[in-house]
Chain A
Amino acid sequence: MGKQVPLPAGVYNLDDLKDFGRRKGWCPYYLARYSILHANIIVYSYHYLLDPKIADLVSKELSKKSVVVFDEAHNIDNVCIDSMSVNITRRTLDRSQANVETLQNTILKIKETDAAKLKEEYRRLVEGLKEANVARETDIYMSNPVLPDEILQEAVPGSIRTAEHFVGFMKRFLEYLKARLRIHHVVQESAPQFLKDIFEKVCIDRKPLRFCAERLRSLLRTLEIADIADFSAITLISNFATLVSTYSKGFTIIIEPFEDRTPTIANPVLHFSCMDPSIAIKPVFERFQSVIITSGTLSPLDIYPRILDFRPVTVASFTMTLARTCLCPLVVGRGNDQVAMTSKFETREDFAVIRNYGNLLLEMSAIVPDGIVAFFTSYTYMENIVASWYEQGILENVQRNKLIFIETPDAAETSMALEKYQEACENGRGAILLSVARGKVSEGIDFVHHFGRAVIMFGVPYVYTQSRILKARLEYLRDQFQIRENDFLTFDAMRHAAQCVGRAIRGKTDYGLMIFADKRYARADKRGKLPRWIQEHLTDGSLNLTIDETVQLSKHFLRQMAHSIHDISNCNVQCFCQLNLSQEDQLGLSLLTLEQLQSEDMLQKIAQIAHQA
């Protein structure tokens, strides 16, 4: 009912759909799923397209001629990897065991009441997979990396065709996994090694494992189990089984008996991590006619085609057209006592470095109006530094200038801190927000205008380099794509740094300071990895500054920016300053009205710029 009546033309977000559904008496979830196929423009998160489990349900039938644009795609390789990785803990296994018990009981019950259903499923299995194959060949459906093409050429193997056999099969698999988790030292192996071990221990063959996911899904459908969420644990295991048996390359299995931070608590985890992001994104590239990857901090550009394994047709990099310089990047490398400031691991406990960082924050809090956002490289580092500052009395002095708020791993606390921070900026009291470079704040929140007049990066945000998963990934990249470990780590760190400082400038009338507080930023290999729109304002004179010099340059910059925003045509300015620009002056230069945009020469100019790159 309602399928024939289309959604009237317009723009709908989630709330609109819910309202509409409530008015017409339709379920908004299915309304959304239905309208996806009929919409002209869809805006949703990456996971709906990249995560195979979700993409299968939602985006399978999108037209081939669609244009796919990945916005803010600097983290796209991480998203791809996360969607194909599986982590299994003991709790998961326990819950899966419970699931399997439930399945078994349900099957017994149904056998007593309606055996025909199971027989029907059996028959369908033999033919059903053929249907999916046909659909994929004629390109009606997008391919699913969890269910690669090869599987569809074959029928489900006999050992798991009947429901009881399948349940028994899963039980054996679960026992095996439990045994594997009972270890006391770290084990790392590749997928084929793992499969060989399975075969030796429990005589489970590769082929049936591959059909696990599909088989489980059809079983759940047959048994008409309403609450799928209960079975998330067993679904996870079956996905894991299919993945591990399908791909011989690009995945690694690491079993750790405890987490690194808590070596005494036994918490065994099996990490099945994908090391190759191109696996998840390959179906997208193959299916759709045009795919565009874009971001404000996508640099260096050439590393992305290598990691995602595609040949780009066009590569273009644009800078911001500004009527005046609205950002001021500075690299502070030394304190006033000429001690180098850095977050290098060896110098983290150094008293002088911590004190210099504190001084930098104190001085900036005295000259920057409204809000300052400061990013640290990790939560532990931030906690250590803040504790030291408290002992040294620096925090007290800073609080006389501005209020201080801290981001914590807890989401509720962080959003409360953020709210109060914004209120303090609005009221004229001024505030500082201390947060972490890979946290929620750096990836989601924008600090426009007075909310972020200065962004300070304390140190270079390298990811935790001792993690085994990371090491495996680096090794894989080196072997497959010839990317050096150091290059990749620097690239990852700089992209996060660029993302953090990019939070401050969100518009053309916005302005802000970007302070990179680490001497390593002055080096060419790091500087060169910053996006072009930051690099072009980073002059040689603003590298390796001391705190005093930074304060002077910042004061001057802030006065200039405040001066230029307001239209002062009545005054004689004796220092030769840059253009005084109000909104009207910027029109035509960096802001365009609708008419200007549609005018002939503007269109020509745009075409020219696009061809230049």
Chain B
Amino acid sequence: MDEEPERAKRWEGGYERTWEILKEDESGSLKATVEEILFQAKRKRVFESHGQVRLGMMRHLYVVIDTSRTMEDQDLKPNRLTSTLKLVEYFVEEYFDQNPISQVGIITTKNKRAEKLTDLAGNPKKHIDALKKAKDSTCGGEPSLYNSLSLAMQTLKHMPGHSSREVLIIFSSLTTCDPANIYELVKTLKALKIRVSVIGLSAEVRVCTVLTRETGGSYHVILDESHFRELLMFHVKPPPATSSSECSLIRMGFPQHTIASISDQDAKPSFSQAHLDSTSGGPGLSMGGYFCPQCQAKYTELPVECKVCGLTLVSAPHLARSFHHLFPLEAFQESPLLLHHTERFCEACQGELKDKSVFTCPSCNSVFCVECDLFIHDTLHCCPSCIHSRSAP
């Protein structure tokens, strides 16, 4: 465990004692310490796998962003609001990458009121546009947890029982202005099985602790910007489903993409349902597209929920992308380099093994370096040599 004293970053105004961390070895060289620091920075602790647990893959998540007075504070650069909006943009992209059949909505709260920035939707573009526009908005007043939660609840309670209902609050203020007793609202949220998580930007507030504990969410307070990003990414993974959610068979449609050319006799140009009420430019009329198997309404993009008949339309690759959450890759065993005399090269990148420790896949016993281990667990989600050995005839 690290025994070093707490350090603050220079821009936070903390007093840096840089001389303390560097230690010389016998020959007077600092190389060992520098390498150690770099190694620590690279190594992340692997995500805990939950094992054989049912996950809530169809997620309906509301992100509540606090835009009160305290967001103008400059401890995150350039100020908290800009930094948060940028990170939430990145979060939205990652979220749809990992959870293609889920939906997200954004709510902002300031001046004791809450407003919906965007509705629950499965299209990341809309959210990102709205977030970009929100950068110019002013911050003021105090946030209201009660109002934002009840706003989110109004929509979430109509969602089907098999989906996971979540709210993620990014809370920077230390006070909340509520019109009624928030503990009553907590009870209602619990009854509706809505899971609320909070990321605090200032300090630990009691009401948030109780809120998250009662509804089964998590509460963390950030230390700096990279920690903030970490915490957001933590919420990209689908959470374990609550035991009380109905397990039912979900109807989904798998439309084929039809591309009709003008020379076809039956081809007629038509509007896509999704473009009917959108304000973005573009002709709107197109020849081909996805037609809902139940009602033949046309859509240009998947996944989407059919406006006419309510069927969820997805394509097979979307579901496959969520697959790796159910069967997560096991953490590789870490062992010091000295024990491995025979292997000199990493299996994945064929680079020489230079780090302090190496990682071994438990099933195929191949050895990987630190960076490949990171890449395999975060992005690939499968061990390359296992796949390679399986696919070989």
Chain A residues with CB under 8 Å of chain B are 366-370, 400-402, 425-430, 449-450, 453, 541, 552, 555-556, 558-563, 565-566, 568-579
Q: Is the CB of A426 within 8 A of B174?
A: no
With both beta carbons as reference points, the residue of chain B lying nearest to A585 in the complex is identified as B1
What is the distance, in angstroms, from A450's C-beta to the closest C-beta of chain B?
4
B152 CB–A CB distance under 8 Å: no
Bound: A563/B199 CA distance, A? 11
- Partner pick for B203 among A400, A559, A572, CB 8 A cutoff: A559
Provide the residues of chain A in CB contact with B44, threshold 8 Å.
Answer: 571-572
Selected A-B contacts with CB under 8 Å, 9 pairs: A369-B203, A427-B181, A556-B6, A561-B204, A566-B218, A569-B48, A571-B45, A574-B41, A579-B1
Q: Is the CB of B13 within 8 A of A552?
A: yes
- Residues of B in contact, count (CB < 8 Å): 51
Q: Is the CB of B174 within 8 A of A430?
A: yes
Chain B residues with CB under 8 Å of chain A are 1-2, 4-9, 12-15, 21, 41, 43-45, 47-48, 70, 75, 142, 145, 174-178, 181-182, 200, 202-209, 218-224, 226-227, 230-231, 234
Q: Is the CB of A367 within 8 A of B203?
A: yes
Provide the residues of chain A in CB contact with B9, threshold 8 Å.
Answer: 575
Q: Is the CB of A562 within 8 A of B12?
A: no
Provide the residues of chain A in CB contact with B231, threshold 8 Å.
Answer: 571
What is the distance, in angstroms, from A540's C-beta to the closest C-beta of chain B?
13
A-B interface, 4 closest residue pairs, ranked by CB to CB distance from nearest: A428-B207, A562-B204, A450-B206, A562-B221
Q: Is the CB of B6 within 8 A of A575?
A: yes
Q: Is the CB of B221 within 8 A of A428?
A: no
Q: Is the CB of A560 within 8 A of B203?
A: no
Bound: A427/B209 CA distance, A? 11
Q: Is the CB of B14 within 8 A of A552?
A: yes
Q: Is the CB of A426 within 8 A of B206?
A: yes
- Partner pick for A427 among B43, B182, B204, B220, CB 8 A cutoff: B182
What is the distance, in angstroms, from A27's C-beta to the closest C-beta of chain B?
43
Q: Is the CB of B206 within 8 A of A425?
A: yes
Q: Is the CB of A563 within 8 A of B182?
A: no
With both beta carbons as reference points, the residue of chain B lying nearest to A431 in the complex is identified as B175
Q: Is the CB of A429 within 8 A of B230?
A: no
Q: Is the CB of B6 within 8 A of A578?
A: yes
What is the distance, in angstroms, from A108's C-beta to the closest C-beta of chain B?
67
Known contacts A428-B178, A574-B41, A574-B224: A368-B203 contact under CB 8 Å = yes
Provide the residues of chain B in CB contact with A568, threshold 8 Å.
Answer: 220
With both beta carbons as reference points, the residue of chain A lying nearest to B174 in the complex is identified as A369
- Partner pick for B200 among A425, A562, A570, CB 8 A cutoff: A562
Provide the residues of chain A in CB contact with B47, threshold 8 Å.
Answer: 570
Bound: A569/B230 CA distance, A? 11
Q: Is the CB of B204 within 8 A of A558?
A: yes
What is the distance, in angstroms, from A372's C-beta to the closest C-beta of chain B?
11
Provide the residues of chain B in CB contact with A449, threshold 8 Å.
Answer: 206
Provide the residues of chain A in CB contact with B220, threshold 8 Å.
Answer: 562-563, 566, 568
Known contacts A570-B45, A576-B6: A370-B227 contact under CB 8 Å = no
Bound: A449/B205 CA distance, A? 11
Known contacts A576-B7, A579-B1: A559-B175 contact under CB 8 Å = no
Bound: A370/B4 CA distance, A? 30
What is the distance, in angstroms, from A362's C-beta to the closest C-beta of chain B?
13
What is the distance, in angstroms, from A433's C-beta to the closest C-beta of chain B?
15
Provide the residues of chain B in CB contact with A556, threshold 8 Å.
Answer: 6, 8, 12, 14
Could you list 14 further interchain pairs (A-B, Cβ under 8 angstroms) beyond the known A555-B12, A571-B234? A366-B174, A367-B202, A367-B203, A370-B205, A426-B206, A428-B178, A428-B205, A555-B202, A556-B14, A558-B204, A570-B45, A570-B234, A576-B21, A578-B2
Provide the residues of chain B in CB contact with A576, threshold 8 Å.
Answer: 2, 4-7, 21
Q: Is the CB of B45 within 8 A of A428?
A: no
- Partner pick for B6 among A401, A450, A571, A577, CB 8 A cutoff: A577
Provide the residues of chain A in CB contact with B175, threshold 8 Å.
Answer: 401-402, 428-430
Q: Which of A427, A428, A575, A576 has the most CB of B within 10 A?
A: A428
Bound: A162/B204 CA distance, A? 74
Bound: A575/B206 CA distance, A? 25
Bound: A572/B223 CA distance, A? 11
With both beta carbons as reference points, the residue of chain A lying nearest to B237 in the complex is identified as A570
Bound: A453/B202 CA distance, A? 14
Provide the residues of chain A in CB contact with B207, threshold 8 Å.
Answer: 426-428
Q: Which of A366, A562, A573 has the most CB of B within 10 A?
A: A562
Q: Is the CB of B6 within 8 A of A369?
A: no
Provide the residues of chain A in CB contact with B145, threshold 8 Å.
Answer: 428
Bound: A571/B219 CA distance, A? 14
Provide the residues of chain A in CB contact with B7, threshold 8 Å.
Answer: 575-577
What is the distance, in angstroms, from A78's C-beta to the closest C-beta of chain B?
35
With both beta carbons as reference points, the residue of chain A lying nearest to B231 in the complex is identified as A571
With both beta carbons as reference points, the residue of chain A lying nearest to B181 in the complex is identified as A427
- Partner pick for A574 among B70, B75, B226, CB 8 A cutoff: B226
With both beta carbons as reference points, the residue of chain B lying nearest to A449 in the complex is identified as B206
What is the distance, in angstroms, from A312's C-beta to the closest C-beta of chain B?
37
Bound: A450/B218 CA distance, A? 18
Q: Is the CB of B203 within 8 A of A562?
A: yes
Q: Is the CB of A369 within 8 A of B202?
A: yes
Bound: A518/B181 CA distance, A? 39
Provide the residues of chain B in CB contact with A369, threshold 8 Å.
Answer: 174, 202-206
Bound: A569/B9 CA distance, A? 22
Provide the residues of chain A in CB contact with B209, threshold 8 Å.
Answer: 450
Bound: A569/B75 CA distance, A? 25
Bound: A368/B203 CA distance, A? 7
Provide the residues of chain A in CB contact with B4, threshold 8 Å.
Answer: 576
